[in-house]
Copies of this chain bind each other. A is one copy, B any other.
Amino acid sequence: MITQSEYNDAILRARTYLAKAGIVLTLEEAENIEVADFGLGELDRSGLALITYVNTERCCAKELVLFPGQTCPEHRHPPVGADPGKEETFRCRWGEVYLYVAGEPADNPACKPPPAPEASYTVSHEVRLGPGEQYTIPPDTLHWFQSGPQGAVVSEFSTRSRDELDIFSDLRIARQPQIAPE
């Protein structure tokens, strides 16, 4: 768990990264940046901040902020009824992000996963995204990502987002952030 003040600090910090990327938010959006620590309580290692611009039955757009070296843990977006699962495109706007997906493992990967139980990180094909570069993740496909030393701002374009249904490889993870009472 992270504390309310850690949560609030992360919001303030995320705003500075969005400003560096030239992204303008409304006042209401800036107040409502979401901070996800995946219930691990180690926001410096695992987590991200995000703004959801729109999330209808059919499509979704978000802005993701990763602080330097922060990891979004390995997960997939499973099918839901007739929906094959969330398809998402990550487009790096600022900084750099390393995306890991199934395929030939990187010989010298730029990133190491954070410490986690066995089988929490299983895919290791590396895709580096700098500003203006993007990659599309098919539905129900394992992936994780980590920002470089500057951090990263990444636009996500996708089908409907149902974060609460995401399946993480690290079985400790609960997607909803949990804030400790102070």
Q: Which residues of A contact B (CB under 8 A)?
A: 21-26, 29, 53-54, 56, 58-61, 87, 89, 91, 93-94, 131-134, 136, 155, 157-159
Chain B CB within 10 A, most for which of A54, A58, A59, A132:
A59
Q: Which of B54, B94, B133 contacts A157 (CB 8 A)?
A: B54
- Give, as a whole number of angstroms, the nearest-CB distance from A137 to chain B: 11
B59 touches A157 (CB 8 A): yes
B26 touches A132 (CB 8 A): yes
A131 touches B54 (CB 8 A): no
Instruction: Count identical subunits in the complex.
Output: 2
B59 touches A158 (CB 8 A): yes
Interchain CA distance A132-B157 in the complex, whole Å? 17
Contact residues in B for A24 (Cβ distance below 8 Å) = 93-94, 131-132
Q: Which of B23, B53, B56, B87 contacts A134 (CB 8 A)?
A: B53
Interchain CA distance A134-B29 in the complex, whole Å? 11
A53 touching B22 in the complex, CB below 8 Å, given contacts A59-B59, A59-B158, A159-B59: no
- Give, as a whole number of angstroms, the nearest-CB distance from A150 to chain B: 14
